[in-house]
Structure formats: structure tokens, C-alpha cells
Amino acid sequence: MTSRDLIDASGYDRKGFASRYDRYRPRPPRALLDVLCRYARVERPALVVDLGCGTGLSTVAWSGVAERAIGVEPNAAMLAAAPPAPGVEYREAFAQDTGLDDGCADIVTCSQSLHWMEPEPTLTEAAGILRRGGVFAAYDYDWPPIVDPELDAAYAEYQRRRARFREAHGIQRGGDRWPKHEHLERMRASGRFGFCRELLLHSVEQGDADRIVGFTRSLGLPVVDLSYEDADDELGVHELAAVAERVLGDRTVPFVFGYRVRIGVR
């Protein structure tokens, strides 16, 4: 498979964004779920609510762990790609207006999504639907995953090109308004939680050269007046793909994802 094939296999087509997101993004590790249950002081949660669930990656993880899990997502296209699972349901709604009853949930999560949400109403809603002693968790994974130092360097250079691309085309990054590194302080300042802390975890998943490029594609291409080919050249995705192919070849290797978890106990 050539580097061009790696790119063409993933594509920029926004109609396929949800399926690429679901295929290439990591799943939350079981250790994270166990920690949240411990802090909520419950072995099997009666209800987990996952805000901004996207394609349900972080919702389905609770199937068989919680009695019920509800994924809340305003984007119908993302929900359409969410798979069914025992005990899992979805609703099309915004995080600050879920329509759920007060005090109904043991755990409320935001997986790689809180930076898209208006903080004050979202934290108010999350605290409102939590029972007393329930846990809110906003968690994000670091990327790229730990794979190889040459790939790390190539990805860092790609990120620099992507930053220049956004600047040249006047595109705001998702985390520009509410940066992830400020989540914990905003949670504390909200006054909605009696105790807050941050912890670090990691997960290990298998990946190959295709996943390196696919993950890059799952970040989404901003809508600009460029052909896909011109955007490829400006972003230098082919260069990243070539490095992934040279370093990994046809091998499948462990990808290590670091997780930053901000916890608030109601």
C-alpha cells in the first residue's frame, strides 16, 4: 500500500466523517470506568450519561458495566453512526439541555467534548442530573499516540502545518474558546462540585500506518474554498503518510494513548 493509497482510503469526504471518527478514534480504557465507579461509590451504576457522545465510542464502553447508559449528542449524523449495544440508548440534544430528570445519574461524562460546550450551562446541567455523591468526568486523550519517535516528529510537523493552515484561512480550532487545560479550574470555579481533581491514565490499542492517517483524517477538514488535492498539499498529509508507511510498513503495533481525566464529585 502506498502513502497515496493510505490517504485515499481515508478521504476528506465530510459525509464519511462520522464513520472515520468511529473507526480510528480510541475507546476509553476500562481502568477509567473503574475509577469513576470507585469515586461514585457504586459497583454497577444505575445510569451513566455521556454528554457530546459523538458516535457513541464513550457510551458503548458502559454496556455491561452500567445498568443503563444514555449518549447525548446534537449532531444527527454522528448519532446515525452510533452502534446499538445492550443497555445503551441515545438522544439528540445539547449537553446543557438534556431533558433528563434531576438527580437521575450516578456518573456524567464528557469524552473529548467539553471544549466544544458553553461551560457554565453545561456544568450546571451535569451537576443537576447527578445524584448527590455522583461523579462528573471530563476526559481527553493526548494525541498523537505513543508509537515511534520518528512518527512523533512527523506528527508535530504536521500539527505546525495545520496551525498555519488555520491561520491562513481564518479557521478557529475547536479548543480555542475553552481550552482543555482549563477544564479543572472551570469545574472548581463553577461551585457545582464539592471536590475536584485531575488524574492521568493510559490505554493501549493496536494500530498500523493506516490508523495514523485515519486518525489524522478524523480530526476533520475545515470547510474552505480549496479542492481536496490542494488541501492535501497545504497540510502535507502525504508526508505524514509516507513516514507512517516507512516506519511501520505492514506491521500492527501497540498504540499508547495518554488520558487526562478531570473529576468533580457532586
Catalogue all structural domains in the chain, each as residue range(s) with its CATH number. Answer: 3-265 (3.40.50.150)
In 225-243, which positions are buried (b, 16+ CB within 10 angstroms) versus exposed (e)? ebeeeebbebbbbbbbbbb
More confident residue, 136 or 161: 136
| Inter-residue contact 138 to 183 (CB < 8 Å) | yes
Query: Residue 7's pLDDT is what?
Result: 38
Give me the long-range contacts of 159-163 (CB less than 8 A, separation at least 24): 161/234, 161/235, 161/236, 162/219, 162/235
Q: What pLDDT is recorded for position 168?
A: 83
Q: Name the percent of the chain lying above pLDDT 90.
A: 73
Q: Which of 30-44, 116-130, 166-180 comes out lowest in average pLDDT?
A: 166-180
What nine digits make up the cell of 110? 464528557
| Residue 15 confidence (pLDDT) above 60 | no
33 three-class SS:
helix
What pLDDT score was predicted for residue 220?
63
pLDDT band, residue 18 (cuts 50/70/90)? confident
pTM of the model: 0.88
Question: Where would I find the H helices in 94-227?
Answer: 119-129, 149-169, 183-190, 209-217
Straight-line distance from the first to the last Cα atom of the chain, in angstroms, rounded to the nearest whole number: 51
Q: Answer yes or no: is pLDDT of 5 > 50.
A: no
Q: How high is the pLDDT of residue 6?
A: 38
Out of 12-16, 34-38, 169-173, give the one with best mean pLDDT: 34-38
Higher pLDDT, 7 or 117: 117
Please give the C-alpha separations between residue 207 and each of 61, 161, 185, 246, 248, in angstroms, as whole numbers. 19, 24, 34, 15, 10
Q: What share of the chain is helix, strand, coil (3-state, %, to 5)?
A: 45, 25, 35
- At residue 123, does pLDDT exceed 90? yes
Band of pLDDT at residue 14, cut at 50, 70 and 90: low
pLDDT in tens, 203-232: 999 999 999 988 887 876 554 555 556 676
CB 68 within 8 A of CB 98: no
Residue 4 has pLDDT above 50, yes or no: no
**Half-sphere CA count of 96, side-chain side, radius 13 A:** 10
For a pLDDT cut of 70, what percent of the chain falls above it?
A: 88
Reported confidence tier of residue 50, pLDDT bands at 50, 70, 90:
very high
Position 121 confidence tier, pLDDT thresholds 50, 70, 90: very high
Mean pLDDT score across all residues of the chain: 89
Contact 59, 82 (CB under 8 A): yes
